[in-house]
């Protein structure tokens, strides 16, 4: 059972659903008549993206990018790799980047830079979680779900070594699972 590897449930399914609905309503109000392009940063944001876009009540387009900086470990390597690029033309478009978690900020600052260079009319960030204590690069967040302490969290798309993404809630992983104290 995956639940045995979880020390504590941080956000229940209901808490996540309430927050996602709130963010969807804010985005819908802000982007009326703008037909935003909502870009999910895979893999971590896949669950959040599916739930969030269904709470956006205005027309929008969706696209997906896959980047990775963590590999199999719990620490960022500092190097961001593009594994899959978006297919849409972004020139003149209003972009909303959807992330599961903002940690060091390396991934998002890299993405912002390359997407701005491609001529987006505007770019905003929507992240479900943020760990402010861990920030190395300053990244402005427009839509934030929750600020969390520096603990290793999994579930609702977030993984440890590609596991636990399918947990329906967000929990803190027991340090013993990843060889911590």
Catalytic residues: 103
Decide whether 89 or 136 has the Cβ nearer to Mn ion.
136
Of the candidate residues 24, 36, 44, 157, the single one contacting Mn ion (CB under 5 A)? 44
Convert residues 51-90 into a mask of x (bound to Mn ion by CB under 5 A) and - (unbound): ----------------------------------------
Residues 108-167, interacting with Mg ion (CB under 5 A): 159
Query: Is 70 one of the binding residues for Mg ion (CB under 5 A)?
Result: yes
Convert residues 2-41 into a mask of x (bound to ligand PRP by CB under 6 A) and - (unbound): ---------------------------------------x
CB of 109 to ligand PRP, least distance (A): 8
Q: Contact at 8 Å (CB) between 7 and 67?
A: no
| Residue whose C-alpha is closest to residue 99's, from 60, 66, 138 | 66
Q: What share of the chain is helix, strand, coil (3-state, %, to 5)?
A: 25, 30, 40
Query: Is 157 one of the binding residues for Mn ion (CB under 5 A)?
Result: no
Q: Which of Mg ion, Mn ion, ligand PRP, none interacts with 101 (beta carbon under 5 to 8 A by kind)?
A: ligand PRP
Q: How many CB atoms lie within 10 A of CB 73?
A: 10
Token code pair at residue 103: 């940690």
Structural Rg of the chain based on CA atoms: 16
1's CB contacts (< 8 A; 6+ apart) are none
| Residue whose C-alpha is closest to residue 118's, from 178, 61, 41, 37 | 37
Residue 15 three-state SS: helix
Q: What are phi and psi of 20, to 5 degrees?
A: -65, -40
Of the candidate residues 23, 100, 115, 128, the single one contacting ligand PRP (CB under 6 A)? 100
Residues 87-106, interacting with Mg ion (CB under 5 A): none
Question: Which residues contribute to the site for ligand PRP (CB under 6 A)?
Answer: 41, 43-44, 68-70, 76, 99-107, 159
Chain contacts with Mn ion (rule: CB under 5 A): 44
């Amino acid at each position: 059972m995956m639940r045995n590897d979880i020390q504590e449930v941080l956000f229940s399914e209901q808490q996540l659903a309430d927050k996602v609905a709130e963010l969807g309503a804010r985005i819908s109000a802000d982007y009326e008549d703008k037909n935003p392009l909502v870009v999910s940063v895979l893999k971590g944001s896949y669950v959040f993206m599916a739930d969030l876009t269904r709470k956006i009540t205005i027309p929008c387009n969706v696209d997906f990018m896959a980047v990775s900086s963590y590999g199999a470990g719990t620490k960022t390597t500092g190097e961001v790799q593009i594994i899959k690029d978006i297919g849409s033309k972004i020139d003149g478009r209003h972009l909303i980047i959807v992330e599961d978690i903002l940690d060091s900020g390396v991934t998002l600052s890299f993405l912002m830079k390359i997407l701005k260079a491609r001529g987006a009319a505007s770019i905003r960030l929507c992240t479900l979680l943020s760990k402010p204590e861990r920030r190395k690069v300053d990244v402005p967040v427009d839509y934030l779900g929750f600020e969390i302490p520096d603990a290793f969290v999994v579930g609702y798309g977030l993984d440890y070594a590609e596991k636990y993404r399918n947990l329906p809630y967000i929990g803190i992983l027991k340090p013993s699972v990843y060889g911590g104290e």
